[in-house]
Structure 1
Amino acid sequence: MQEKIYTKVCTFAEKNRIFDRCSLVVAGVSGGGDSMAMLDLLRRMQKQYGYELQVVHVNHGIRGMEAERDQMLVEKTCKDQGIPCQTYCYDVPGLSALWKNGLEETGRKVRKEAFCKTIAKTERAGQGRSVIALAHNKNDLAETILHHLCRGTGLRGLSPMKPEKDGIIRPVLCLERKEIDEYLKERQIPCVLDSSNLEDEYTRNRIRHHVLPVLEAEINERAVNHMTETSELIGQADEYLSHQGIQLAEAARTEEKNFLFLDDFFEKEEILQKYAIREAVELLTGNVRDLSMIHVKKVMDLYRSCTGAKISLPLGLLAERTYEGIRITAAKVQETPENKEYLLPVPGVLNCPYGCFETKIFHWSDQKICEKKYTKWLDYDKIKYDISVRTRKTGDYLIVNSSGQRKKITRCMIDEKIPREYRESLPLAAAGNEVLWMVGGRINERYKITSETKNVLEIKYQGGKCNE
């Protein structure tokens, strides 16, 4: 069985050309079964492909003695087999708090840093390319597909792992977890079990422990294989549409930091419009990680608005309806004689003299409405224009009841018993003269969450004179 698996991995590597012109493979090895099996396979294939093999192990500083056990196993295995090994230790919980990221996101960042450091130390000019090897398998891919599908995703989210892309290879992506277990057993390869993988606290673990087993037992025993085959087809479709999107985006480029999508663009197939807008954002910023399909749809909806209408996009971009079509460019901070306005990125973080504002968007599914004083939820689909952060100015108003009655913001401040000395400096989240939220006080009735709400905008405020 082990030779059959080895041949399968070699065939997979040849088909996807993952070792082409490869002089250095840096393998991420945690000590778990998947990565230890991958390390053994890479060592066996080393002679055939002629690459240098090195190992990176990252101790995240989370699981105490268990993490030290993992580190010792990886280091001993590499020493016994003569494989260079670099161990990096990070205080991920501390860095997570410092960077204001989740543990998972912080873990990804430090692992990327560890790989980059190792490649920088080892890579030599003119000797081929260096790649990072990750031990994702078919089950990992199926779990990720289900996770993305349940949260909402485009085609790209249904083809999230490639055998080789952007310097990352996945040599065991052709194997199911049960094949890896069999390989470990037959080859008598030592490995460890991460106890956090047994807990149902994480969504991925619940999918692994409960959803996939039911699919395989009660729907189709080859469910994992079928999902990975479908993911490959979806990936091919996504690549084709991305290519079409790039061509349309390039045709709309008017200068380096400016795209103008003309009227005839909005007569094209809707899916091509979506891909072109995403590609324009990527060309402007270098990534589309914070751009959701909600933002893309808002750009498309903006075309049906009146000239001059604007919306802010993540990554500091602005979309504006012009006479010719839709212009996407870098947002500019606006100034008025009374005060300064700061465009609020959605989603994203704004640090300005009025404090720190953090926003995110999520799908509404009848959750308990947030009642915190400095965190508010608004119906995102009802917000048609840019949100800015500023202090009060003449003409500001708030909708105070369900019938749409307006009240001047100064009157609202009096009703909220805000001290006179703080009224001029109180931060407001506003769209034009319509105030959405008096920070620390009430929100606009028009944008309150209802049973018809689909997408929620969360605004969280930290710092400033109004902070508790």
Structure 2
Amino acid sequence: MIEAFIQHIRNKSLLDPEKKYLLACSGGLDSVCLGELLFISKIPFEVAHVNFGLREKESDGDENFVKSLAKTWNTEFHLHHADTLKIAEENHISTQMAARDIRYEWFEEIRESRKLDGIILAHHEDDQLETIFLNLTRGTGIEGLYGMADRRGQLIRPLLPFSRKQIQEFAAENKLVWREDSSNKKTDYKRNKLRHDVLPVLYDSSEDARANLLTSLNRLKDTGKAFSGLFDLWKSQNIKDSEGLQTLNFKGFIHTEGATSLLYFWLRSYGFNSIQAQEIYQSCLQGMAGKIFESAGYLLNLDRNQLVLAPKTLSFEPIEISENDLGFKIPEGTYEILKLSGQTELDKNSQNAMLDLEQLTFPLKIRNWEEGDRIIPLGMKNSKKISDFLIDLKVPLVKKLGVKVLESGDKIAWILGFRIADWAKQTAATRKTLYLKKR
């Protein structure tokens, strides 16, 4: 196994004899064998062990054992005592999750403080298969088939191509001793149940079941990576991004095979799940215009023939602007307030407003628009409901929710970002202009 191990770490450029690493060592079979392989291969490493305090004397025995191993390997030993149960309770997570968080955070602290070149973990082929099946039971989709990577960031797993059987044979050949964790025999944890009860039955179903399973999973992983590349191309061609909104025209996916997956891969980073992706697709097929879907921070609106994605509008308390204010700040940006005299060149940018100062009543107020609000849009003589004005401009519902108005007395002087009121415009008679300019 030693020759295969050295060849693997060379081919994948996983470990370098000129660098030094941190080995996470529990004292069990896998990490002991990995430490021995590193020692024989002359890969410099230090040892880190966490005593989680979950098995009393057994945990203390593991600690002493790993400490003696570090002496055998003539390397630095790092130890961390953790109150795992307390941390799990305080963070409202399982003991297993707490233990995972504790060890990875501490390993990284050691790596940084010692300026080491990576954290070496003893996960092997059987662990990989268990992880993939666990992912499938959690509904993680095709990416759950990827399992663990040989290297991800600072975490290095050089044993992934090797089975538990190969590791056991290496230990026997080299007369290695290790510690047995009694909790590994319990089947009340999902991973242990898979390991002891489920996967052995699957492997025994035929002589080549395990080998065929690994081959199939590798092919599925490659298929997943191909899909990921095709998705990136589809996204670049179909998702439009403008003024904080993302839009997807129905024609970009509605009759495409795998449309639900395309929607999910687009929306998942914004907090939407696969079930919502299915519901969104069905709503599009049924032409349910106006329907809104929500995640923690985003809204997705079925707007006519497209989907529109936008961040949720932050709650906004109305603000007042006095005659002497020099500026104001709203979620959409910061504005300067300038007072200009005489004839002034008109700023046609809809993000800014130039108003006849003498027509305004202070204090002015900026607030979210409300149903029933009306405005006399620039160039018109009659008032119009703001809701109808926004509909005419085909403003998506998710953007409408955040539209703000500038109120002067009991009249709307400006729909921010869209149009000023005709009564508040500059004319030939204007002597002073109030210029609201977005920075």
Give the structure-1-normalised TM-score.
0.61
How far the C-alpha of 1:145 sits from its partner, in A, is 2.6
Letter in 1 for 2:213: M
Q: What letter matches 1:214 in structure 2? A: V
The whole-number CA distance in structure 2 between the counterparts of 1:317 and 1:192 is 49
1:174-222 per-position Cα deviation (integer Å, ceiling 9, x unaligned):
11111111111221222111111111111221221122222233x1244
Q: Measured at CA, do residues 328 and 281 of structure 1 come closer, stay the same or move farther in structure 2, by a change above 3 Å?
A: farther
Question: In structure 1, what is the equivalent of residue 279 of structure 2?
Answer: 298
Work out the CA distance in 2 between the residues paired with 1:73 and 1:55. 12
Instruction: Give the Cα–Cα distance (whole angstroms) in 2 for the partners of residues 318 and 38 of structure 1.
Output: 49
Match of residue 207, structure 1, among 191, 194, 201: 194
Q: Does 1:107 align with 2:99?
A: yes
8 A Cα contact 2:128 2:147, kept in partner? yes
Contact 2:52 2:81 in 1 (8 A): yes
- Distance in 2 (alpha carbons) for counterparts of 1:79 and 1:247: 54
**Corresponding residue for residue 162 of structure 1:** 149
1:308 aligns with 2:290: yes
CA distances 1:287-344 after superposition (whole Å, capped 9, x unpaired): xxx764223323433434523211222x53332222352223333456899xxxxxxx
CA distance in 1, matches of 2:167, 2:203: 18
Question: SS of 1:260's equivalent?
Answer: strand
Report if aligned partners of 1:27, 1:133 keep a CA contact under 8 Å in 2: yes
1: distance between equivalents of 2:17 and 2:255?
40
- Using the alignment, how far apart are the partners of 1:64 and 1:255 within structure 2? 59
1:239 corresponds to: 225
Q: Which amino acid aligns with 2:99?
A: G
| Residue matched to 1:230 | 216
Shift of 1:258: 4.2
What's the counterpart of residue 321 of structure 1? Answer: 302
Structure 1 CA distance for aligned equivalents of residues 20 and 248 of structure 2: 43
**Alpha-carbon separation, structure 2, partners of 1:257 and 1:23:** 45
Q: Which residue of 1 aligns with 2:29?
A: 33
Identity rate of aligned residues, in percent? 23
Secondary structure (helix, strand or coil) at the match of 2:26 reads: coil
- Alignment equivalent of 2:63, drawn from 57, 60, 71: 71
CA distance in 1, matches of 2:94, 2:62: 23
3-state secondary structure, aligned to 2:118: strand
Q: CA deviation at 1:171?
A: 0.9
AA aligned opposite 1:329: A
Structure 2 residue identity aligned to 1:70: D
Distance 1:117 1:172 in 2: 23
**What amino acid sits opposite 1:331 in the alignment?**
K
Over 3 Å counting, the alpha-carbon distance change for 1:269 and 1:166 in structure 2 is: farther
Instruction: Note closer, same or farther for the CA distance 1:200–1:56 as it changes in structure 2 (3 Å cut).
Output: same
Instruction: Within 5 Å, give how 1:222-371 maps onto structure 2.
Output: 222-251=208-237, 252-254=239-241, 258-267=245-254, 269-271=256-258, 274-275=261-262, 277-279=264-266, 281-282=268-269, 292-304=273-285, 305-313=287-295, 316-332=297-313
3-state SS of 1:61 partner: coil
- Which whole-Å CA distance do the structure 2 matches of 1:148 and 1:257 have between them? 34
CA distance in 2, matches of 1:21, 1:278: 40
Distance 1:116 1:256 in 2: 39
- CA change 1:272–1:247 in 2 (3 A) is farther
Larger radius of gyration: 2
Rate the CA distance shift 1:22–1:248 in 2: closer, same or farther, 3 A. Answer: farther
* Shift in CA distance, 46/63, structure 1 to aligned 2, threshold 3 Å: same
Give SS of 2:49's match: strand
Counterpart position of 1:445? none
Shift of 1:237: 1.6
Distance apart, 1:67 and its partner CA:
1.3
Opposite residue 97 of structure 2, the aligned amino acid is E
Q: 1:209 to 1:324 in 2, by over 3 A?
A: same
Partner of 2:338: none
Secondary structure of the residue aligned to 2:45 is: strand
Q: 2:80 aligns with which of 83, 88, 102?
A: 88
Partner in structure 1 of residue 203 of structure 2: 216
Structure 1 unmatched ranges of 5 or more: 125-129, 285-289, 338-468
CA contact (8 A) 1:145 1:157 kept: yes
Q: 1:215 to 1:264 in 2, by over 3 A?
A: same
Secondary structure of the residue aligned to 2:39 is helix
Any idea what SS the aligned residue of 1:193 has? coil
1:227 is paired with a residue whose SS is helix
Change (3 A) 1:258 1:46: farther
Give 1:113 shift: 0.5
Question: Partner amino acid for 2:86?
Answer: G
C-alpha RMSD over aligned residues: 2.8
- What CA distance in whole angstroms lies between the structure 2 residues aligned with 1:203 and 1:74? 27
Q: CA deviation at 1:263?
A: 1.9
- Partner residue of 2:131? 144
1:22 Cα deviation after fit: 8.0
| 1:378-457 superposed matches below 5 A | none
**Residue in 1 that maps onto 2:38:** 42
Q: 2:121–2:156: 8 Å Cα contact kept in structure 1?
A: yes
| Number of equivalenced pairs | 316
Structure 1 residue identity aligned to 2:218: E
Label 1:201 to 1:291 Cα distance change in 2 as closer, same or farther (>3 A): farther
State the shift of 1:256 in Å: 8.9
SS at match of 1:205: helix
For residue 239 of structure 1, report the CA deviation from its aligned partner: 1.7
Shift of 1:108: 1.9
Taking the aligned partners of 1:256 and 1:64, their CA distance within structure 2 comes to: 59
Query: In 2, Cα distance between the equivalents of 1:244 and 1:170?
Result: 29
In the alignment, the residues of structure 1 paired with residue 80 and residue 199 of structure 2 have an alpha-carbon distance, to the nearest angstrom, of 33
Q: 1:275/1:307 Cα in 2 relative to 1: closer, same or farther (>3 Å)?
A: closer
For residues 69 and 7 of structure 2, the distance between their equivalents in structure 1, rounded to whole angstroms, comes to 26
After superposition, give the CA deviation of every residue in 1:370-393 in whole Å (9 maximum; x if it has no partner): xxxxxxxxxxxxxxxxxxxxxxxx
Q: Is contact 1:249–1:276 with CA below 8 Å preserved after alignment?
A: no
Distance in 1 (CA, whole Å) between partners of 2:310 and 2:20 is 40
Contact 2:253 2:259 in 1 (8 A): no
